[in-house]
A and B are shown apart, each in its own frame.
Chain A
Amino acid sequence: MALLEVENLVKHFVAERSLLGRPKAFVRAVDGVSFTLEAGKTLALVGESGCGKSTVSRLVLRLIEPDAGSVRFDGQDLLSLDTAALRAFRRQAQIIFQDPYASLNPRMTVDQILSEPLALHDLVPSPRRRARVDELLRLVGLEPRLARRFPHEFSGGQRQRIAIARAIAVEPKLIICDEPVSALDVSIRSQILNLLRELQDRLGLAYIFVSHDLAVVKHIADRVAVMNLGSIVEEAEADALFAAPRHPYSRALLSAIPLPQPHAKRTTVLLEGEIPSALNPPSGCRFHTRCPFVVARCRTVPPELVADGTGHATACHRVAELPSADAILPAAGGFSPSLAKLVAAFSQKAEGAAPSGVGIQAARPTAT
């Protein structure tokens, strides 16, 4: 049985009310989203701003209530839970946010931040909490002696480690990572991604990884769901999706990402026009206004998300007739042999040095 089963989730936000308070316009943030997630696996939700990926992640945690649909976690229907049961569920599912500057209480020390969930869920008796906090900090690559410090004394990457420690403190089965590395510098990003993977292996965590960055998603996800304007347009194993994206929107997304490979030969699908608003999504297929393969039927009939025998699902009327998507990502990429050796040497030597991410300097930002 899957850890998480989401079926036909719908959430419309009221955008405008009449004088009498009746809703006049809705933002159709999430419109019929279904997926499943196995224990210990990572599902990535990808798409551009406003596609509903963050809303889905909050619906799954019941941080906001859906208008329709169901969420089953470990076989249990989340929407039927009362307050006490919901609190128990929150022990099983945690979230890490994008901005590590906003998601930690500036008035609490790291020790307090990490002890709170332990106390709240009555997990560790108070005399042993300090030891558990030390252990959590070590797990995320921070020195236990930093526990008495406040969030402002840490860099962005270190704060994200603290947020991760807080999430794993309650030993959850599922962590929702909402753009966890988007606010971080490139070199810090790789540390956090490596850490998330390592923790998944060690603790058997399942992740829902919400991101707009497909390179990051390719690195971390087992399965990928591509969202456009509130619905999933394609869902597949990560390898299959990146090898041969089927939906025209997935192709456009992949081809839009600049590759760190000068003069790479690839097909580019440049989308024209703006992203339509979820306030007034196009009729039929919501991608039809920007789709290079649009036909009359696309403008009127919304396509269903249909899976083939391999579990690769696509919501497109013309999926069978589309040209092959070979050259969207160049096959031969990557490092020259000597550069690969150099990068390997760089990483190896670094491992022998200080443990990752520790050490703290006067947390004074540099001037730029």
Chain B
Amino acid sequence: MSAAPLIEIEGLRIRFHGDDGRITHAVDSVDLSVANGATLGLVGESGCGKSVTSLAIMGLLPKQSAEVTGAIRFDGLDLLQAPDQILRDLRGNRLAMIFQEPMTSLNPSFTIGDQIIETILRHRGGSRRSARERAIALLRRVHIPSPERRIDEYPHKLSGGMRQRVMIAMALACDPRLLIADEPTTALDVTLQAQILELMRELKAASGAAIILITHDLGVVAEVCDEVAVMYAGEIVERAPVGELFASPQHPYTVGLLGSIPRLDHRAEQLATIEGMVPNMAQPPAGCRFAARCPFMREACTAARPPLVEVTPGHLSRCIRAPLELLVS
């Protein structure tokens, strides 16, 4: 990517200190950057650290138990060093987030209009009337039918798909530069998912915002992302432009993931499986964290932590055996 990145994460490390003194290494030295107008997919299975990373960007991790180090630079400002007041001004304004559960992320005791208007007034000021007009325009933009009436409804009157649209409208209220969407369609039916993904593409084209899309669904990634980062056990194990990643993955974990999903576009008699389990994150292994489950493992893999290296231009892999094509040719 040529332009200066909008957000640049460097050496992000997140540790949770449990009540019992136990330390969990949730995220380890994650480096990421997203340029203006680009969409980055953050992929991985439960517990890989993808959601925690996004919460760290938003500054939403509990201060008492989460130890966050490294740097998260947003437009040049290090969010980890910024005082709370500045973060509060950024959140919901230039930094916005959509969560997975549209059922629980809206306040049930306020109308959807109140909730959108609150955001606008907090960050933009102006009169309540103009904020209300803007809220109606936003609801129209996310294709909510008859927004003038819908704006005064409570969340429980809306279906799941509608609520997710309201969440998106709220996130867009102040024209964010960066939108983080954490599994935005996972709770929705496929026909609604298709509508929401279409909406996100449309909004991205119109606003030029950067998007970080967190998902476990490789199909969603292929449809909307420009670049993909695959996470495993708190680390980024592979990063590549989307076409590259699906055509020639360079980390065995990605190969396993691609082989294990049933596909509509071709038939496999037997699906690939990734045997074993994710390592215990209280004591992550010293070497490659995937080594114990990796069929291509060598002794050297467990000796030292493999670095994230560029295999081909723009395509990074944390595997000392990459390029993987050489293993099967």
Which residues 273-294 of A have a CB within 8 angstroms of B?
273-275
- Which residues from B are CB-within-8-Å of A193? 262, 271
Interface SS majority for chain A = loop
Whose C-beta in chain A lies nearest to the C-beta of B224?
Answer: A258
Stretch from A2-10, A143-151, A172-180, A261-269 contacting the other chain = A261-269
- Does any Cβ of B come within 8 Å of A300's Cβ? no
- Which residues from A are CB-within-8-Å of B282? 364
Tell whether, in the assembled complex, residue A338 and residue B264 are in contact, meaning their CB atoms are under 8 Å apart. no
Tell whether, in the assembled complex, residue A342 and residue B191 are in contact, meaning their CB atoms are under 8 Å apart. no
Closest chain-B Cβ to A182's Cβ sits at a distance in Å of 11
A242 to B265, CA, bound (A): 9
Tell whether, in the assembled complex, residue A253 and residue B190 are in contact, meaning their CB atoms are under 8 Å apart. yes
Tell whether, in the assembled complex, residue A259 and residue B263 are in contact, meaning their CB atoms are under 8 Å apart. yes
Which residues 327-368 of A have a CB within 8 angstroms of B?
329-330, 333-336, 338-339, 341-350, 352-354, 356-357, 359, 361-362, 364-368
Tell whether, in the assembled complex, residue B243 and residue A264 are in contact, meaning their CB atoms are under 8 Å apart. no
A345 to B294, CA, bound (A): 11
Stretch from A103-111, A131-139, A213-221 contacting the other chain = A213-221
A268 to B225, CA, bound (A): 18
- Does any Cβ of A come within 8 Å of B99's Cβ? no
Stretch from B46-54, B68-76, B121-129 contacting the other chain = B46-54
Tell whether, in the assembled complex, residue A338 and residue B328 are in contact, meaning their CB atoms are under 8 Å apart. yes
Closest chain-A Cβ to B103's Cβ sits at a distance in Å of 13
- Does any Cβ of A come within 8 Å of B287's Cβ? no
- Does any Cβ of B come within 8 Å of A191's Cβ? yes
Which residues 133-165 of B have a CB within 8 angstroms of A?
145, 159, 161-162
A48's contact among B24, B190, B197, B263, by CB below 8 Å, is which?
B190
Tell whether, in the assembled complex, residue A216 and residue B162 are in contact, meaning their CB atoms are under 8 Å apart. no
Residue in A49, A257, A342 with the greatest tally of chain B CB atoms within 10 Å: A342
- Does any Cβ of B come within 8 Å of A320's Cβ? no
Tell whether, in the assembled complex, residue A259 and residue B189 are in contact, meaning their CB atoms are under 8 Å apart. no
Closest chain-A Cβ to B281's Cβ sits at a distance in Å of 4
Tell whether, in the assembled complex, residue B161 and residue A274 are in contact, meaning their CB atoms are under 8 Å apart. yes
Whose C-beta in chain A lies nearest to the C-beta of B66?
Answer: A367
- Does any Cβ of A come within 8 Å of B83's Cβ? no
A346 to B256, CA, bound (A): 7
Tell whether, in the assembled complex, residue A339 and residue B274 are in contact, meaning their CB atoms are under 8 Å apart. no
- Does any Cβ of A come within 8 Å of B64's Cβ? no
A289 to B275, CA, bound (A): 46
What is the total number of residues of chain B having a CB less than 8 Å from a CB of chain A? 73
- Does any Cβ of A come within 8 Å of B219's Cβ? yes
A347 to B47, CA, bound (A): 23
Closest chain-A Cβ to B122's Cβ sits at a distance in Å of 29
Tell whether, in the assembled complex, residue A350 and residue B274 are in contact, meaning their CB atoms are under 8 Å apart. yes
With A49-B189, A346-B295, A364-B282 already in contact, the answer to whether A260 and B218 are too (CB < 8 A) is yes
Whose C-beta in chain B lies nearest to the C-beta of A272?
Answer: B195
Tell whether, in the assembled complex, residue A257 and residue B190 are in contact, meaning their CB atoms are under 8 Å apart. yes
Tell whether, in the assembled complex, residue B259 and residue A271 are in contact, meaning their CB atoms are under 8 Å apart. no
- Which residues from A are CB-within-8-Å of B295? 345-346, 348-350, 352-353
Whose C-beta in chain B lies nearest to the C-beta of A345?
Answer: B328
- Which residues from A are CB-within-8-Å of B324? 342
- Does any Cβ of B come within 8 Å of A247's Cβ? no
Tell whether, in the assembled complex, residue B45 and residue A264 are in contact, meaning their CB atoms are under 8 Å apart. no
- Does any Cβ of B come within 8 Å of A321's Cβ? no
Tell whether, in the assembled complex, residue B328 and residue A342 are in contact, meaning their CB atoms are under 8 Å apart. yes
- Does any Cβ of A come within 8 Å of B278's Cβ? yes
A334's contact among B46, B219, B265, B271, by CB below 8 Å, is which?
B265
- Which residues from A are CB-within-8-Å of B189? 48-49, 212, 275
Tell whether, in the assembled complex, residue A339 and residue B258 are in contact, meaning their CB atoms are under 8 Å apart. yes
- Does any Cβ of B come within 8 Å of A126's Cβ? no
A255 to B193, CA, bound (A): 11
- Which residues from A are CB-within-8-Å of B256? 187, 346
- Does any Cβ of A come within 8 Å of B257's Cβ? yes
A342 to B243, CA, bound (A): 17
Tell whether, in the assembled complex, residue A274 and residue B252 are in contact, meaning their CB atoms are under 8 Å apart. no
A262's contact among B45, B246, B259, by CB below 8 Å, is which?
B246
- Does any Cβ of B come within 8 Å of A19's Cβ? no
Residue in A257, A262, A263, A347 with the greatest tally of chain B CB atoms within 10 Å: A262
Mark interface residues in A224-267 (1 if CB within 8 Å of B CB, else 0). Answer: 00000000000000000010000000001111111111111000
A262 to B247, CA, bound (A): 9
Whose C-beta in chain A lies nearest to the C-beta of B48?
Answer: A368
Tell whether, in the assembled complex, residue B296 and residue A349 are in contact, meaning their CB atoms are under 8 Å apart. yes
B26's contact among A212, A260, A261, A366, by CB below 8 Å, is which?
A366
Which residues 149-201 of A have a CB within 8 angstroms of B?
155, 185-187, 189-191, 193-194
Tell whether, in the assembled complex, residue B264 and residue A186 are in contact, meaning their CB atoms are under 8 Å apart. no
Instruction: List chain B positions with a Cβ less than 8 A from chain A.
Output: 16, 24, 26, 45-52, 145, 159, 161-162, 189-195, 197-198, 216-223, 233, 242-243, 246-249, 252, 255-268, 270-278, 280-282, 295-296, 324-325, 327-329
Can you give 17 A-B contacts (C-beta < 8 A)? A185-B45, A186-B45, A186-B260, A214-B264, A219-B262, A254-B264, A258-B193, A258-B194, A258-B223, A264-B265, A275-B191, A329-B264, A334-B266, A339-B247, A343-B272, A350-B272, A353-B275
Instruction: List chain A positions with a Cβ less than 8 A from chain B.
Output: 48-49, 155, 185-187, 189-191, 193-194, 212-216, 218-220, 242, 252-264, 268, 270-271, 273-275, 329-330, 333-336, 338-339, 341-350, 352-354, 356-357, 359, 361-362, 364-368
List the 7 closest A-B pairs by CB distance, nearest first: A333-B265, A349-B295, A258-B219, A334-B266, A219-B262, A343-B259, A190-B271
